[in-house]
Amino acid sequence: MYKFYLTVIAFYCVVSTSCNNTSDQATANKDSVDHTTTTISNAVPDKKGFQTTIDGKKTDLFILKNANGITAAITNYGGRLVSLLVPDKDGKFTDVAVGFKNVDDYVGPNDAYFGATIGRVGNRIAKGMFTLDGKKYSLFKNNGPNSLHGGKKGFQAVVWDAMQPNDSSLELSYLSKDGEEGYPGNLNVKVVYTVTADNGFKCYYEATTDKKTIVNLTNHAYFNLNGDGSGTINNHILQINADRYTPVDSTLIPTGKIEPVANTPFDFTKATAIGARIEDNNQQLKYGKGYDHNFVLNGTGLRHAATVTGDQSGIQMDVYTEEPGLQFYGGNFMQGKSSFKSGKKDDHRTAFCLETQHYPDAPNHPSFPSIVLSPGKTYRTSSVYKFSVNKSAP
């Protein structure tokens, strides 16, 4: 905790000298864009690439910023975080959210939920089946034998209603109709993304239903803390406050056991390079083709879940969440088929996700925390990705 405060103080020193007004930021961005030796993306994307009509609804790009110049760009197509500019160890604004430069690339076949708001149920449901009050429900199987991230057309592919109440927040709303993707109940969803005064990217989710249903919302931001387009994330340093995780079968469905991470490559209780043990002879790593697992977070309530530091940028991201689990996905299925806004391809393991969530396949594991939502109740949960500079980073 002490180290965290030190890094926050260091961060404030950096921003107060180099980027405490927007014109300085513009200069920093321009300078970076003109830089010929790097392709790292560090400009706010052009809104024009996001202004179109999909399913009869207008899409756009919304720019959120705080007084320190931290700037997020979010499109209401899928509620996607398209870019997130934060200062690195030299005060240079760096785009740490990997994404595309126009909405068409997100609609295309190579999209892997980049930056998206995920629902109704994030992660996998075994065989696309679950039972509620004795009634069986069947979902579209879009991931081998399983249903992943809401099914065929999850929340990542719908156009949300957007309202920007102030410079730093965006409210997205969506009514998922009774039966949509096989889920029961009209689900009214609200998501509020905020760039907070203390340099966090906050995700607040809210939902109500008129029939008993299941819900597990998350954001699928892909991060590269050295900058979109800067290569492997395997040298990023990761620490996760989880003594246990949920091992999976070959289709990435939890076996139901909750096992200690101690003496396994899943032990990130001490800060470790992401790639340090990724080639270990470990069955779980083989199943995930690397890290693609749910960590059982220690503690309850809004608490510190993880810290990641970019080995080149010194950018540190601290994750806080109310959720019981954290899916750490190391970009193992990135295929190098699409070009990001940086101009670089979505190559293998060039971004990672830390998806705050309830455990995968929760409806089929009564011992896991429940994701059932009943009429009259309100689903509410918050997670924050907070940025600072780690001066002691290599």
Residues involved in catalysis: 220, 355
Residue closer to ligand BGC (CB basis): 12 or 333: 333
Closest CB 218 distance from ligand BGC, rounded Å? 8
Q: Tell the smallest beta-carbon distance from residue 266 to ligand BGC (Å).
A: 15
Q: Of the two residues 100 and 329, which places its CB atom closer to ligand BGC in the complex?
A: 329
- Residue 55 C-beta-side C-alpha neighbours within 13 Å: 11
Q: How far is the CB of 211 from ligand BGC (least distance, A)?
A: 27
Residues 357, 123: Cα–Cα separation, whole Å: 8
Among residues 180 and 292, whose Cβ is nearest to ligand BGC? 292
Residues that bind ligand BGC (CB under 6 A): 112-113, 252, 292, 327, 329, 333, 353, 355
Q: Residue 130: in which H helix or E strand, if any? A: strand 129-132
For β-strands 71-75 and 80-87, DSSP reports them as antiparallel
Cβ proximity to ligand BGC, 162 vs 308, nearer residue: 308
- In the complex with ligand BGC, the residue whose CB is nearer, 88 or 228, is 228
Q: Which residue has the tokens 């809210």?
A: 206
Neighbour tally for 142: CB within 10 Å: 17
Q: Indicate the DSSP class of residue 50.
A: G
- How far is the C-alpha of 122 from the C-alpha of 299, rounded, in Å? 21
DSSP string, 178-229: TTGGG--S-EEEEEEEEE-TTSEEEEEEEEEESS-EE-B-EEE--B-TT-TT
Alpha-carbon torsion, ordered 90, 235, 257, 260, to 10 deg: -80
**Rounded to the nearest whole angstrom, what is the least distance from the CB of residue 329 to ligand BGC in the complex?**
4
To the nearest whole angstrom, how small is the minimum distance from the Cβ of residue 353 to ligand BGC?
6
